[in-house]
């Protein structure tokens, strides 16, 4: 198999693989799976449509041979997938994979943290969008309290996990939480990442007027007087990092709307039913599951994956307008993975 990084049409290498292990979630966040659409009777994928752990691992080995070095497990809520530690053990054994992370809403993290850590997962991103109990309960659509999520984070940290908090910020919904969130996680020594509200999928009612930009948030935190930029740790790092000038902790920003980073994007996505997507804002994917289940060899899988990446020209965030955001059909966040 090839060991050279595979480049797309814009000379971007394939370095990061996002694997969605389930389309199910126990939250109904307004910006991802609003309960008006994903009601209690919503039909999620049957088990037989999901890739097995063996299929995921086989695909991941091929991606690694094309240059992938980092894997992140997503969903839906990945901790709803039974037996997840076994998948982590399988992925951690793949030659060339240097890092495995997981993004979670944190509700099940406390109970699973120990088994996940011993399986080889040592880094998690936890989504938390507010500290006010009423506001957070409304955002997550289930009335879950932020204290539960924070306690589970602390449990994970006590075991040895590196924890980062992700906060999606929307004007008029939770922008008043920016300063309290920053203060709390600075005190706790946890990096807080502010994420601009994005038009992923077609279900979250996205409008440009709701976007709290990186610049808006940066100024709300005190701007240059309080924060100083930190150099990227590796090529293609999505988040822009800043250190507090008093030396205590960091914050970071993912600014897909106001400061698009398409030109350096190295991410490829594999959905829970085995479709390969070359962009978070994709309208369609390549059916890898059919190849996996039809007896294709590893070389045939490699040829197919390479062929998709070689043709990749995606740069949606650089081309986005309010009109394209509303009119273009895009795969939902819970399906494609964050």
pLDDT confidence of residue 103: 97
Q: Which of 221, 232, 226 is nearest to 246 (CA)?
A: 226
Instruction: Report cis status (omega within 30 of 0) of the bond before 181.
Output: no
pLDDT tens sequence across 184-226? 999 999 999 999 998 765 565 668 889 999 999 999 999 999 9
The answer to whether 107 touches 152, Cβ cutoff 8 Å, is yes
pLDDT confidence of residue 335: 66
Burial status of residue 288 (CB atoms within 10 A of its CB: 0-12, 13-18, 19 or more) = buried
- Across the range 71-94, mean pLDDT stands at 97
Read off the DSSP letter of residue 106: S
pLDDT confidence of residue 332: 67
Q: How much is the pTM?
A: 0.92
Report the mean per-residue pLDDT for the chain.
Answer: 91
pLDDT confidence of residue 225: 96
Whole-angstrom Cα distance, residue 124 to residue 103?
6
Can you tell me whether residue 28 is helix, strand or coil? coil
From its phi and psi, is residue 309 left (phi > 0), alpha (psi between -120 and 50) or beta?
alpha
Alpha helices in the chain, H assignment, sequence order: 53-65, 84-92, 109-119, 133-140, 146-159, 178-188, 214-220, 288-292, 298-310, 316-319, 322-327, 333-336
pLDDT tens sequence across 219-268? 999 999 999 999 988 877 889 999 999 988 999 999 988 888 888 899 99
- Local confidence band at 82 (pLDDT 50, 70, 90 cut-offs): very high
Give 74 or 335, the one with higher predicted confidence: 74
The residue behind tokens 């990092």 is 241
Residue 1 reports pLDDT greater than 50: no
pLDDT tens sequence across 149-197? 999 999 999 999 999 999 999 999 999 999 999 999 999 999 999 999 9
pLDDT confidence of residue 276: 96
Query: Percent of the chain beyond pLDDT 70?
Result: 91
The answer to whether 103 touches 166, Cβ cutoff 8 Å, is yes
Can you tell me whether residue 163 is helix, strand or coil? strand
Can you tell me whether residue 227 is helix, strand or coil? strand
The answer to whether 257 touches 197, Cβ cutoff 8 Å, is yes
Q: Which of 157, 82, 148 is nearest to 117 (CA)?
A: 157
pLDDT tens sequence across 108-138? 999 999 999 999 999 999 999 999 999 999 9
The answer to whether 188 touches 268, Cβ cutoff 8 Å, is no
Which helix (H) or strand (E) segment is 241 a member of?
strand 240-244
pLDDT tens sequence across 308-330? 999 999 887 766 555 555 555 65
Measured at the alpha carbon of residue 70, what is the angle toward residues 300 and 117, in degrees to the nearest 5?
120
Residue 269 reports pLDDT greater than 70: yes
């Amino acid at each position: 198999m090839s060991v050279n990084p595979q480049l797309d049409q814009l000379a971007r290498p394939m370095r990061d693989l996002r694997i969605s292990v389930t389309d199910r979630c126990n939250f109904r966040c307004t910006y991802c799976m609003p309960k008006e659409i994903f009601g209690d009777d919503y039909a999620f994928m049957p088990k037989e449509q999901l890739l097995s752990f063996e299929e995921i691992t086989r695909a991941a080995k091929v991606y690694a041979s094309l240059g992938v070095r980092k894997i992140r497990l997503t969903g839906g809520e990945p901790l709803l997938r039974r037996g997840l530690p076994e998948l982590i053990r399988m992925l951690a054994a793949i030659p060339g994979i240097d890092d495995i992370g997981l993004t979670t809403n944190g509700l099940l993290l406390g109970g699973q943290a120990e088994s996940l850590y011993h399986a080889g997962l040592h880094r998690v991103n936890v989504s938390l969008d507010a500290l006010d109990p009423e506001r957070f309960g409304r955002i997550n659509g289930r009335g879950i309290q932020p204290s539960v999520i924070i306690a589970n984070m602390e449990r994970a940290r006590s075991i040895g996990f590196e924890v980062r908090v992700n906060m999606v910020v929307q004007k008029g919904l939770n922008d008043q939480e920016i300063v309290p969130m920053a203060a709390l996680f600075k005190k706790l020594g946890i990096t807080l990442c502010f994420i601009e509200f994005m038009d992923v999928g077609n279900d979250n009612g996205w409008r440009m007027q709701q976007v709290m930009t990186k610049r808006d948030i940066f100024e709300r935190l005190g701007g240059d007087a309080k924060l100083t930029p930190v150099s990227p740790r590796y090529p293609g790092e999505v988040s822009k990092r800043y250190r507090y000038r008093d030396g205590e902790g960091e914050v970071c920003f993912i600014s897909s709307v106001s400061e698009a980073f398409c030109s350096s994007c190295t991410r490829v996505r594999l959905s829970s039913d085995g479709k390969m997507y070359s962009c978070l804002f994709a309208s369609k994917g390549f059916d890898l599951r059919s190849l996996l289940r039809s007896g294709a060899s590893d070389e045939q899988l490699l040829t197919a994956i390479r062929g998709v990446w070689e043709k990749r020209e995606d740069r949606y965030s650089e081309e986005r307008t309010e009109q394209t955001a509303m009119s273009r059909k895009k795969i939902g966040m819970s399906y494609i993975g964050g």
